Amino acid sequence: MTIRERILTALTWGSPDRVPLTIYHDLMPRGLAERQLREAGLGLIFRLPAHTVVRRQARITSCEYFEGGRKLLRRTIETPVGRIWQTIETDQGYSSEWIHEHFIKGPEDYPVMAAYVRDGVYCDNYEAINEMKRRLGDDGVVLVRVGKSPLQEMLYLMLGYERFAVDYHENRDLLDGLHSAMAARCEELYRLAAGAPVEILQLADNVTADVIGPERFLSYLAPEYAKLKACIASAGKLLAVHMDGRLRGLADQISGAACDIVEGFTPPPVGDLRVRDARLAWPKKALWINFTSSMHLESAARIEAHTRQLLGEAEGRRGFAIGVTENAPPEALERSLSVIARVLQEAA
């Protein structure tokens, strides 16, 4: 069974020859370890958008500068109704971007962001997707990254926790107005995603119960999942939602949500729901877990024990896959992935 076949078989509730092991391609340690891990069955996951965008009037500019010995990047959006900016810092050790200032800092910034959202003209990105599939072959899977649902994009990328909390209670009309504009844009993106030449779509929602809560999940997130799922119903595609946070408080709501795969699911000690409990709570949803991030830093013996525990709790290969969706130091990933791959081979 090829790596690609193994992944798709597991996620469609078939019987793979062993539990798949995957990693987002940009997290893969490069060099000798990469070749050894791929030969051991580690599959690459490429996430491409189903669309490209051209801006009619809005302009985006970036400027790097140093402050207090740190390199920062200011990204500015200019529209006919005003301009907004965010400030980010790159974590070199983990290749992540940390937002220091979000685009929306007060009520006056909402109309600017709404103008930016409405400014885009979208076309399909199918040629690039087909080319990536050709290059990857059977060494993994190309999926469409739809992005985040509107509320999650607003929370994580536009407002931040504090501003979101304030505006959710004091400026709900502004928040809901921007959400409506983004939801209208998403309908077009969903149609393009539904037509893409892939088997799996991913909503990169980064769901955690501590932040979103049952009320907002049901009012804002679940309807978007249902709209996207309806778009792909006749196309035979799977919908994966990236839920990598603490999920016990949303277990019932996730069970009723219109998605096929809970992707990025992270077990304890990082998450608060065990694989066994998730299997019981969501018997019809495949689990494509994120191997518990903190475990990459542990000894080989602890990594092996944890992997065997995960396999035991999964109680079978159907509807189950292990992935790496969070970054870690390359030397830690090299060690941990070699252990995980070996355990999965031995359990086959």
pLDDT tens track of the chain, all 348 residues? 999 999 999 999 999 999 999 999 999 999 999 999 999 999 999 999 999 999 999 999 999 999 988 899 999 999 999 999 999 997 654 456 899 999 999 999 999 999 999 999 999 999 999 999 999 999 999 999 999 999 999 999 999 999 999 999 999 999 999 999 999 999 999 999 999 999 999 999 999 999 999 999 999 999 999 999 999 998 999 999 999 999 999 999 999 999 999 999 999 999 999 999 999 999 999 999 999 999 999 999 999 999 999 999 999 999 999 999 998 999 999 999 999 999 999 998
Residue 144: which domain range?
Answer: 3-55+120-347
**DSSP single-letter state for residue 146:** E
Residues 154 and 181 in one domain: yes
Residues 306 and 183 in one domain: yes
Give the predicted TM-score (pTM) of the model. 0.95
Residues 68 and 176 in one domain: no
Residue 251: both structure tokens together: 């277990």
d(CA 327, CA 289): 14
Residues 230 and 260 in one domain: yes
Choose the final residue of a domain: 67, 91, 118.
118
Choose the final residue of a domain: 96, 118, 140.
118
Query: In the chain, how many domains are there?
Result: 2
Residues 153 and 201 in one domain: yes
Question: Do the Cβ atoms of 119 and 79 come closer than 8 Å?
Answer: yes
Helices 160-170 and 172-194: angle between axes, nearest 10 degrees = 120
CB atoms within 10 A of CB 52: 14
Range list of H helices, the chain: 3-11, 32-39, 110-118, 126-136, 150-153, 160-170, 172-194, 209-216, 222-232, 251-256, 275-281, 300-314, 330-347
